[in-house]
Amino acid sequence: MKSIVRILARLYPASWRARYGAEFDALLEDVQPSTRQALDVFLGAMSMQMTTWNFGKIIIASAVAGLALASIGAFLKPAEYVSSTPIAIEASPAAAQSVIDNLPGSLSREELGHISQLNNLYPGERGHESTDELVTKMEKAIVIQVDHPKPFDYPGVPWSGLTFFTIHFKYSDPKIAQQVDGQLVGLLVSKNLEAQEAAPGGPPVRIHVLDSPTFPVKPTGPGSVLLTASGAIAGALLGLLIATMLRLSRTRSAKAG
């Protein structure tokens, strides 16, 4: 660690090292080397570099730092695939809306836990997270979206009196995403049948599964190129802000002096 701290001390500007280098090295010989010390020396060096850099250099350096961080983020970000199943509800608009509104609550945590276990979802987290936490994670991966398709999207489907929506499931593996989405739809259909049988006098609600769950070929979210470019732009903007603040601070110091 001592040698790392010594190397980091070389990151200070040459003019600063010419004045303080010897005594700073002497201090580093005395202090207990640690990760905190190394980080402190690194930040000190960067801060001192900034005081000697001009406007353009700060912006370029920040853009490069943003680009590097975003590239690492893009590389580490796990891919997510979304499988979708289009569904139509045949019922009065009010009854259909009520089904959609109650959908998230109609799938019990026990049932979701069972599906999670059946498909061995989130194997990396299984060791250190409780079933409850895994189910919460699963709930967040389920998205219910009301659709307004055009008649030619589903030829052969009787059009009038139908309310359309889609059940999406997001997961890191496309095959499992498709499998789970299908199981969620199956669960929904069977729950609706049970509800109809339990209350035969209630308003008739029929659920039509319009298509099988999609197999997601491409992951969702911004691609690596877009992420990296965004990082570079964000870095440049941050650099612009830092450079402006430094310029203001230097102007103020010069006036005060």
Token pair for 150: 């055009």
Alpha helices in 55-130 (DSSP H): 55-76, 93-106, 109-118, 123-126
Nearer to another protein, 5 or 107 (CB): 5
Q: Is 127 helix (H, G, I), strand (E, B) or coil?
A: coil
The CB-side HSE value for 109 (13 A sphere, CA atoms) comes to 9
Token pair for 187: 């669960």
For the CB of residue 40, give the shortest distance to another protein in the complex, in Å. 3
Nearer to another protein, 20 or 154 (CB): 20
Report the sign of the C-alpha dihedral through residues 123, 125, 130, 132, in that order: negative
Give 143's strand partners.
168
For the CB of residue 15, give the shortest distance to another protein in the complex, in Å. 11
Give 163's strand partners.
89
Taking a C-beta distance cutoff of 8 angstroms, is the pair 65, 235 a contact? yes
Long-range CB contacts (within 8 A, 24+) of 105-111: 106/188, 106/191, 107/142, 107/184, 107/187, 107/188, 107/191, 109/135, 111/187
Nearer to another protein, 24 or 122 (CB): 24
Binding site for another protein (CB under 8 A): 5, 16, 20, 22-28, 30-31, 36-37, 39-45, 47-48, 257
How many Å separate Cα 239 from the centre of its chain? 25
Nearer to another protein, 28 or 233 (CB): 28
For the CB of residue 51, give the shortest distance to another protein in the complex, in Å. 9
How many Å separate Cα 168 from the centre of its chain? 17
The number of beta carbons lying within 10 Å of the beta carbon of residue 42 is: 16
For the CB of residue 241, give the shortest distance to another protein in the complex, in Å. 16
Nearer to another protein, 45 or 188 (CB): 45
| Amino acid in the structure at residue 12 | Y
For the CB of residue 255, give the shortest distance to another protein in the complex, in Å. 13
The number of beta carbons lying within 10 Å of the beta carbon of residue 51 is: 11
Nearer to another protein, 195 or 246 (CB): 246
Nearer to another protein, 25 or 111 (CB): 25
For the CB of residue 41, give the shortest distance to another protein in the complex, in Å. 4
For the CB of residue 53, give the shortest distance to another protein in the complex, in Å. 15
